[in-house]
């Protein structure tokens, strides 16, 4: 329903969520204005990448790396065929410094420019060059004379090379499934190579934090839905790293992600043996978040951007501090991603492990309801649980409620973390809702009230990204469904949400799935609000919106139509509701439904049962229930 869907590696939200780590920043990269003289300097800078002198190549590529965060400089550089030149001249350079900078440049270009650069590098066979680097060092890292081999080179430069090579791999992998699969096929031992780097990172802690972070993120990304990789590295003592105070926080966050991937692909028997894994992950992440100095990291980055290029500054130390600050913020963003994923995992686990209710009387009542109301409109997701499973804070759902949600509520107001925090709130609430009772659990009741009081402002496409809006709508939907009381909503808010749903395609033209989801969640939220008795004006306004959708059955997305039909069945399933007579009966809405039957059937037939069998099944059921519902309402008052 309203839960955030798991995104593929090619999705925009997935890329933003993982937040690929960029190469070490360079001072002077934020120059805002490009004058004519600066523009003239670009072609010679690119030409020097092919210089016969290693010093010129190193100087040129370092200078370019300091400029590409500026979009104007980047466009000028790309026009000068920067990428083909770097691919041909620099990534295989005999100088480790030049090669490391070259891979860092490509890595940052992928982050800045996205899919197009990633695919270009892939099609230009960058994987072969990367494989050559890894193959040349893999035997040395596993040999008996590791220290002697490392003493032959500048360790800082070598670590920078590894960091940028691995960072480029993982960043491009996140932009396209084909690239990911090619990496998995052509570099089958990549995950093992990464584990061989971990001891080096721990030993050279003063220079290795960026590399350590990229290694951990690489393991996290490679292990997603990949049983082969998980099996390959399962015996590595990752738990020891979680207990080691010298290991950077972002590394520990990634290890928790690796643990989650192992848990989700484990066989059912293995899952039983590690049943406390989700709770362990949540506790670890909460501890890491509580110790993260977010404001301190922001202050460091603010200092970086305000540096006067004419003033003396220790560039090396400032770069190191900036890198650490970025990793701190990355650890928070990745923690939020994992919170959302763990919440969904808990929901799935609960679905298969929660014992059935022993309340025979309730079962008999349910059977009777089905017999007397042939429309079968009951939504089992709203059943009041026989036991509040969130009252124990040591349970995964209880920990989500008492620890994870309060942290997410604090972070959601920070624009840097709004998307991730809102996804956590949404997923956590949908996970908690079937297990909690707002009439019993004070914490859950307070959570619902907090959501209702604070999240409507985030359900606004004028101010927030569509993914933020959809998560906010999802959380508000579950709050309304979960509350036994009417949660106040004024007519102006209803009208605003309806208008937004009607115009969402114009506001989000680039993402049809997301815009459809906005309407679906608006329908769910408003129909839940409209089902509360004692507020005729609100219910009338909401029912007008729902029946307008049904009246245009063939021109709205099928998912929207089916959710709307099911919402109508729920809202008007009982003649005893105080709004049924004045709105449904006196408004002649059963006639509206009867007139819509042909177009509804046509809309259902448009859904290809081979391409989308689940949606077609939902449509078939909604269509069948439509005729039954019409018959039921015709006879209900006779």
Distance, CA of 458 to CA of 460 (rounded, Å): 5
Task: Please tell me the least confidently modeled range out of 85-99, 491-505, 550-564.
Answer: 85-99
Using an 8 Å Cβ cutoff, are 437 and 444 in contact?
Answer: yes
Pairwise pLDDT comparison (350 vs 535), residue with the higher score = 535
Identify which of 193, 188, 170, 168 has the alpha carbon closest to the alpha carbon of residue 180.
Answer: 170
480 Cβ contact partners less than 8 Å away, ≥ 6 residues apart: 452, 487, 525, 528, 529
83: tokens are: 């990428």
81: tokens are: 């065929």
Pairwise pLDDT comparison (33 vs 562), residue with the higher score = 562
Residue-wise pLDDT for 43-102, tens only, equals: 988 999 999 998 899 899 988 988 888 888 899 899 999 999 999 999 999 889 999 999
The answer, yes or no, to whether residue 370 has pLDDT greater than 70, is no
Question: What pLDDT does residue 389 have?
Answer: 62
Task: Please tell me the least confidently modeled range out of 27-36, 549-558, 564-573, 603-612.
Answer: 27-36
Identify which of 62, 129, 131 has the alpha carbon closest to the alpha carbon of residue 97.
Answer: 62
What's the average model confidence in pLDDT over 511-526?
96
What's the average model confidence in pLDDT over 441-454?
94
Distance, CA of 233 to CA of 27 (rounded, Å): 38
Question: What pLDDT does residue 144 have?
Answer: 63
Identify which of 381, 288, 295, 293 has the alpha carbon closest to the alpha carbon of residue 338.
Answer: 288
Using an 8 Å Cβ cutoff, are 527 and 574 in contact?
Answer: no
Highest mean pLDDT of the ranges 200-214, 384-398, 552-566: 552-566
Report the chain's mean pLDDT, rounded to a whole number: 86
342: tokens are: 């763990």
Reduced 3-state DSSP string for 255-294: HHHHHHHHHHCCCHHHHHHCCCHHHHHHHHHHHHHHCCCH
Question: What pLDDT does residue 601 have?
Answer: 97
What's the average model confidence in pLDDT over 136-144?
80
309: tokens are: 């290029």
What's the average model confidence in pLDDT over 606-622?
96
Residue 292 DSSP SS3: coil
Question: What pLDDT does residue 366 have?
Answer: 40
Residue-wise pLDDT for 258-298, tens only, equals: 999 999 887 656 666 678 899 999 999 999 999 999 999 99
Question: What pLDDT does residue 363 have?
Answer: 37
Question: What pLDDT does residue 381 have?
Answer: 43
Percent of the chain surpassing pLDDT 90: 66
Question: What pLDDT does residue 117 have?
Answer: 94
The answer, yes or no, to whether residue 219 has pLDDT greater than 60, is yes
Query: Exposed e or buried b for every residue in 185-211, given b needs 16+ CB within 10 A?
Result: eebeebbebbbbbbebbeebeeebbbb
Distance of CA 468 to the CA centre of its chain: 10
Q: Return the number of other C-beta atoms located less than 10 Å from residue 40's C-beta.
A: 9
Pairwise pLDDT comparison (364 vs 332), residue with the higher score = 332
Using an 8 Å Cβ cutoff, are 523 and 563 in contact?
Answer: yes
Residue-wise pLDDT for 401-441, tens only, equals: 999 999 999 999 999 999 999 999 999 999 999 988 877 78
What's the average model confidence in pLDDT over 523-543?
96
Pairwise pLDDT comparison (215 vs 12), residue with the higher score = 215
Identify which of 160, 105, 162 has the alpha carbon closest to the alpha carbon of residue 136.
Answer: 162
């Amino acid at each position: 329903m309203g839960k955030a869907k798991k995104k593929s590696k090619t999705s925009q939200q997935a890329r933003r969520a993982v937040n690929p780590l960029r190469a070490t920043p360079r001072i002077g990269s934020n120059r805002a204005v490009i004058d004519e003289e600066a523009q003239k300097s670009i072609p010679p800078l690119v030409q020097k990448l092919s210089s016969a002198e290693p010093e010129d190549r190193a100087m040129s590529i370092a200078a370019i790396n300091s400029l590409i965060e500026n979009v104007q400089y980047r466009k000028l550089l790309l026009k000068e065929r920067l990428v083909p030149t770097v691919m041909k001249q620099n990534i295989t350079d005999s100088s480790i410094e030049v090669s490391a900078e070259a891979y860092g440049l490509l890595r940052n270009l992928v982050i800045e420019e996205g899919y197009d650069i990633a695919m270009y590098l892939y099609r230009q066979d960058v994987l072969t060059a990367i494989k050559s680097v890894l193959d040349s060092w893999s035997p040395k890292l596993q040999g008996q004379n590791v220290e002697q081999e490392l003493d032959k080179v500048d360790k800082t430069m070598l670590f920078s090379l590894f960091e940028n090579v691995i960072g480029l791999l993982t960043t491009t992998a996140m932009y396209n499934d084909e690239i990911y699969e090619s990496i998995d096929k052509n570099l089958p031992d990549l995950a093992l190579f990464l584990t061989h780097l971990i001891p080096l990172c721990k030993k050279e802690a003063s220079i290795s934090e960026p590399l350590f972070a990229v290694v951990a993120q690489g393991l996290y990304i490679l292990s997603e839905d990949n049983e082969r990789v998980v099996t390959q590295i399962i015996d590595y003592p990752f738990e020891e790293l979680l207990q080691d105070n010298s290991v950077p926080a972002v590394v520990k966050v990634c290890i928790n992600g690796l643990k989650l991937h192992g848990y989700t692909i484990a066989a059912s028997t293995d899952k039983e043996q590690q049943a406390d894994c989700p709770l362990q992950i949540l506790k670890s992440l909460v501890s890491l978040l509580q110790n993260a100095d977010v404001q301190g990291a922001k202050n460091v980055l603010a200092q970086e951007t305000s540096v006067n290029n004419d003033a003396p500054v220790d560039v090396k130390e400032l770069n190191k501090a900036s890198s650490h600050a970025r990793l701190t913020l990355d650890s928070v963003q990745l923690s939020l991603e994992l919170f959302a994923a763990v919440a969904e995992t808990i929901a799935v686990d609960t679905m298969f492990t929660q014992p059935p209710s022993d309340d025979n009387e309730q079962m008999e009542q349910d059977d009777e309801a089905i017999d007397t109301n042939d429309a079968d409109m009951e939504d089992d997701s709203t059943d009041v649980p026989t036991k509040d499973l969130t009252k124990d804070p040591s349970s995964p759902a209880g920990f989500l409620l008492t620890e994870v949600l309060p942290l997410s509520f604090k972070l959601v107001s920070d624009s840097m973390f709004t998307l991730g925090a809102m996804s956590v709130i949404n997923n956590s609430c949908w996970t908690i809702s079937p297990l909690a009772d707002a009439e019993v659990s004070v914490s859950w009741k307070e959570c619902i009230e907090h959501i209702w009081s604070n999240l409507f402002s985030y359900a606004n496409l004028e101010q927030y990204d569509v993914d933020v809006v959809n998560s906010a709508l999802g959380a508000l939907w579950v709050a309304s469904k979960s509350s036994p009381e009417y949660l106040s909503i004024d007519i102006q808010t209803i009208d605003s949400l309806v208008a937004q749903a009607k115009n969402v395609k114009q506001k989000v033209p680039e993402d049809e799935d997301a815009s459809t989801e906005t309407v679906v969640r608006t329908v769910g939220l408003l129909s839940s609000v409209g089902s509360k008795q004692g507020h005729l004006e609100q219910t009338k306004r909401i029912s007008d919106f729902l029946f307008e959708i049904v009246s245009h059955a063939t021109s709205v997305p099928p998912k929207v139509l089916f959710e709307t039909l099911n919402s109508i069945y729920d809202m008007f399933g009982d003649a005893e509701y105080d709004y049924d007579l004045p709105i449904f009966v006196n408004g002649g809405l059963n006639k509206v439904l009867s007139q819509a039957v042909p177009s509804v059937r046509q809309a259902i037939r448009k859904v290809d049962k081979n391409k989308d069998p689940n949606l077609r099944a939902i449509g078939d059921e909604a269509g069948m229930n439509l005729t039954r519902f019409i018959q039921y309402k015709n006879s209900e008052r006779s």
